[in-house]
Chains A and B, each alone.
Chain A
Amino acid sequence: MDPTQRQRWYEHMSQKYGIPKEFLIREFERELSWGNPMDAPLEVPDKMEVCFKYSLGGQSRFFRELRENRKILGARCSSCSKVYCPPRSNCPRCYSRTEWVELPGTGTVVACTVQHYTTSAFIKKVPFICAYIRLDGSDFLLMANMEVEDVTRIHPGTRVQAVFREERHGAITDFFFKPVEEIQA
């Protein structure tokens, strides 16, 4: 490809896939400047993407309460009284409807690990804690990530509290957990 065509190729792919041109140049310069023989395997940029206006259905109130009222709700089964968080509209054990209950936002770490390497979406945040937390008032465990100064201080049994972000989107990431003693300090 001549240099003008090559520039057009970078612009086209950059626009089509939202990949900055510098990265395309890094990955494809050799290919596009006759650096590879005709029979060599050819790699091409692509991405798979679908946009949503996704209905949260029976979970809707849970996310509105996070966004508007900084509240964490659980769902209590109307017959067996088990409390689910993440919430469920129907109890999977006895098939009864559930009703909303407010949880205090405190809980206990049941198991935790330090994430040193992770997905592209979170890789700039390492190291952080990934933990199962038993929220007070809930019968089950909630998976959460924790942002703490010193990851070595979180252990099973550590008491934690939900902290709501100032900017909330109506998503599970609207809050994160901190050790109660760090909040009190």
Chain B
Amino acid sequence: MRRVAIVGLGLTQFRARWIEKTYYELAFDAAKMAMEDAGLSKEQIDCAVYGIYNDFFQRQYQPDAFVHDYIGLGLKPAVRVNTGGATGGSALRMGFAEVASGLYDTCLVLGVEKCADCYNYELGMATPEVLRAILYTADMTYDNPAGRTAASGFALAVIAHKEKYGNPTEEQMAKVSVKNHFNATKNPLAQSPKILTVEEVLNSRKIVDPFKFYDNCLYTEGAAAVILACEEKAREITDKPIWISGVGASTDWVMPGNRPNIYTFESSREAARRAYKMAGIRDPMEELDLAELHDAFSGTEIMAYEDCFFCPEGQGGRLIDDGTVMPEGKLPVNLSGGLIGCGHAVGATGIMQACEIALHLREEAGARQRRNARRGLVQSIGGTLCTWTVCLVLEREE
């Protein structure tokens, strides 16, 4: 297997609404930025992998074909990946495989999502219709008719975890929300930069118990792209290659009622184990300098600390209480603002997370730069309670 590096990256603003662009126009911007960042022309891109989640969001089946055409990569091979919220992570994994296998020397991995074109005319707003589009990805025969949402699914897991281990408490979840909204204030591309207090989070309106408004990520429109290259090309292209040293992926029962329990996410644990093994990491708390975890909800970030082995099972809440995951802590989590602060442009999210880690490893992260960052983790989860998880370890050149 060949070594693979990120040699270029491009990110659009993450916003509630990109009314001035269609999904393929937004994708074009990120692709162009990534090529400019790498100093490559489109002729030097050998293949592409697209991460686009929901066909309904784009109002287009097979939207990848139109993105590929619009950015002028016709006649080059391309595939689209869709694993729900983990789409971006899965696209990176497929791009890694394209290059590591020796099939291609360079690969564009691009994620894009528009969602706020979905619209409920009776209520005069987008979100309930966005949720309707999402719920077509829940089991249509048994789960969808229960009126559940992604939030209620994860709420049930968080409640089960608290029942078993006594955490996360609502205060601990609020602290995660405060942290991620604050981190977003240092990220010029973030959707929800906010200075909040724990009380403000606790008093924000209820969405699904125990999640209040500020415990949830928002729906986001945006695009993110990276260019991957094999070692030989990477060294020609850049003196700051960011190596993908670990890739782990796993799946779990799609209907969580079939699992032994719902207070741990076994696919996440397995994906993390595999990524660490490949990267040669034994103690993630000591060997990682920062992490971007999939905080679709504040409580799931806390569960992710455990699933990524930052602490023993059941002790996730401690890491936010003792400041470990704060910007100046031992292992800062979601310096981008995460999904809660930066935003969740589903297909683009995992790639945005990888871009964030890469920026820190290149020492180009501006006001939020993690000092001496050498190695970081990306966690990308999707589906009903982590049907899919992808973990990636990124490292800078030693």
Contact = CB atoms under 8 A, between A and B. Distances in A.
A50 B114 CA distance: 14
Interface string B64-77: 00000111101000
Q: Is the interface of A mostly helix, strand, loop or mixed?
A: loop
Contact of A53 (B28, B70, B72, B117): B117
Interface residues of A, number: 19
A48 interface: yes
Interface stretch (B15-23, B167-175, B191-199, B268-276): B15-23
A95 B59 contact: no
Interface in B72-100: 72, 74
Contacts of B363: none
A50 B72 contact: no
B142 interface: no
A50 B133 contact: yes
B19 A88 contact: no
A57 B20 contact: yes
Nearest to B36: A95
Contacts of B118: 50-52
Nearest to A60: B20
A90 B28 contact: yes
Contacts of B59: 52, 54
B121 A58 contact: no
A57 to B, nearest CB: 4
Contact of B136 (A48, A58, A91): A48
Interface string B179-199: 000000000000000000000
Given A51-B118, A95-B42, A56 B22 contact: yes
Interface string B116-128: 0111110000100
Contacts of A57: 18-22, 25
A55 interface: yes
Contacts, number: 60
Contacts of A48: 136
B368 interface: no
Interface centre among B117, B129, B132 (most CB of A within 10 A): B117
A162 to B, nearest CB: 24
Contact of A92 (B56, B70, B117): B70
Given A51-B119, A51-B121, A95 B22 contact: no
Contacts of A93: 72
Contacts of B3: none
B330 interface: no
A136 to B, nearest CB: 24
A158 interface: no
B71 A51 contact: no
Interface string B99-139: 00000000000000010011111000010010011001000
A173 interface: no
A59 B136 CA distance: 29
Contact of B22 (A52, A53, A59, A92): A59
9 contacts: A50-B133, A51-B118, A52-B59, A53-B126, A54-B117, A55-B20, A57-B18, A90-B28, A95-B42
